[in-house]
A and B are shown apart, each in its own frame.
Chain A
Amino acid sequence: MKMPESVYVLAVYNRQYRVFRKLLGSSLVSNVANPILFLFAFGFGMGSFIDTMSGMDYLTFVVAGMIGYSAAFAASFETSIGAFTRYFLQKNWDAILSTPVTLAELMMGEILWASVKALFSAVCVLIVGWIWGGVPTSFEPLIALPIVFLGSVCFACAGLVATAYAKGYEFFAYFFTFWITPMFVFCGVFFDIGRFPDFIQYLAWGFPMTHLVAAIRPLTAGTEVDVAATLLHVGYIIVFSAAAFWVAHRKLRQRLYD
């Protein structure tokens, strides 16, 4: 196998960026406005019933969750339904694979773009949360951003696994029901996962979202950071990403080359 080269990865990335600029309106709505609506609904609606969660103001709690969720949603959507459309419907991938670009580079370009886009939505949520008073400190949240980016890479890789196995759009119903929705409800976005029964907690720690939110919450909330725990969360995210990339690459190779 050829060593991936950045010039080819960036070529794929650049194509995505060009399209994004054209479809800026709908991209902004789904990736930025969406999480912000949730932030308002939960931060203010629910927040008025809940005083504190995990020892912090509920709005502060939920900002970290929404940052993680907006990144997860943006990255997952881009490499699942988005990538599947390019691969299956538009046959863009066939065209690209007839050039010197390799499959690994094509996947990396897709993942890189999905992650940059995800980071962009996360930053928007962070800014809104900060304006609304849900982010008490100003420097630590910036440390959270590289972790959010890594988390996005992880979600993007998982999305490519779904694309690799999808036979049609119906398949993504499973992906959203059994992958995205659990991340939304069980992984510490809106509630401290300590409130769930044990087996759900074990399950929750299998999802990269739980680790991402657990790693960034102390940073955006300005509470004490457990460095060892943070490294463990980041380590889990990295290992998960690598495994997902490997699975997706193997399956896509089978499907695209015969």
Chain B
Amino acid sequence: MGSTAVITATNLVKRYGTLEVVKGINFSVPAGQCFGLLGPNGAGKSTTMRMIMGLSEITSGELEVFGETATDMSREVKAKIGLVPQESNLDPDITVRENLVAFGRYFALSKPVIDQRSKKLLDFMQLSDKEFAPVNALSGGMKRRLTIARALIGDPEMVILDEPTTGLDPQARVLIWKQLMELKRDGRTLLLTTHYMDEAQRLCDQIVVIDNGMILDQGTPDELIARHVKGFVFEVQKPNLAASPDDRWEQEDIGDSVLYFVDDTAEFIVDLPQDAIYLHRPANLEDVFLRLTGRKLREN
């Protein structure tokens, strides 16, 4: 069975005045997969997400969600999407359970359906003992879990998660990862943005790396690693670097040390001086990300 695309972006452009934040990107999100949208702050991820939710006008190009134009989605299509925003917008005036009930009503669900689903979702996100707690009494991790539960109340075919584990402790992250994998096993499509490359590598089937409003590359995590950083990384401290001329090994100077991206580990080690100090590890998505988007800080 060939998988159909849930989201298709064709030459998608978004301009605010003269500032172009999304510069003609093309991608498609296949049904039932976890699709990662990665990029530094200000790359255009959130704008793209907002356009997918129909909350932001499209300047030019096309953006289809479940076969409908994103800015003009029917209620039926809107109801197929669950959103987990980056910034918590849970309702602080009501309890954990009431947040789910209120959201269920925004999806026009009947009371028995809401009751049954909210019970199941509280259990799924391990919040059952907090059912009657006010939202303000929850920890950051619990709030995030509740936000995910809330996004699932409409039984969505696609869940959009904007940095779902940012700021959480390792225990909370592991639980969220586990439950997201389970959502994928249920056949739901996940669209994820994250700054954590280990998270993307663990969860995503397909990844798009975006920066300055453009797509730098896309593929599976393994494809991206193979394409940009080979199999292994040697982080060698200066000044005792590899003996061969610079063009023999793919490398990147990162200040105190140099990163070498190599396929054949044994061959490289021979090339290192006896007293070299180095760290040897498999290449990962973080290496790809940094190679593609550079190491400069983005906040300013």
Contact = CB atoms under 8 A, between A and B. Distances in A.
Interface of A: 2, 5, 7-8, 10-12, 14-15, 18-19, 22-23, 90-92, 94-101, 256-258
Q: How large is the interface on B (under 10, 10 to 19, 20 to 34, 35 or more residues)?
A: 20 to 34
A100 B55 CA distance: 12
Given A257-B55, A257-B56, A257-B57, A19 B103 contact: no
B94 interface: yes
Contacts, number: 71
- 7 residue pairs, one from A and one from B, having the closest CB atoms: A91-B89, A11-B105, A99-B106, A98-B83, A100-B75, A95-B89, A19-B93
A18 B94 CA distance: 8
A99 B78 contact: yes
B89 A99 contact: no
A contacts with B: majority SS: helix
Given A257-B57, A258-B56, A101 B106 contact: yes
B53 interface: yes
B contacts with A: majority SS: loop
B91 A8 contact: no
B154 A99 contact: yes
Contacts of A7: 108
- Most interface-central of A5, A15, A23, A257 (chain B CB within 10 A): A15
7 contacts: A7-B108, A11-B105, A15-B102, A95-B103, A100-B106, A257-B55, A258-B16
B24 interface: no
Interface in B105-122: 105-108
A95 B85 contact: yes
Contacts of B167: none
A91 B108 CA distance: 21
Given A11-B108, A257-B55, A258-B50, A99 B93 contact: no
B106 A96 contact: yes
A100 to B, nearest CB: 4
A256 B56 CA distance: 9
B105 A91 contact: no
B108 A100 contact: yes
B108 A15 contact: no
Interface string B38-77: 0000000000001001011100000000000000000100
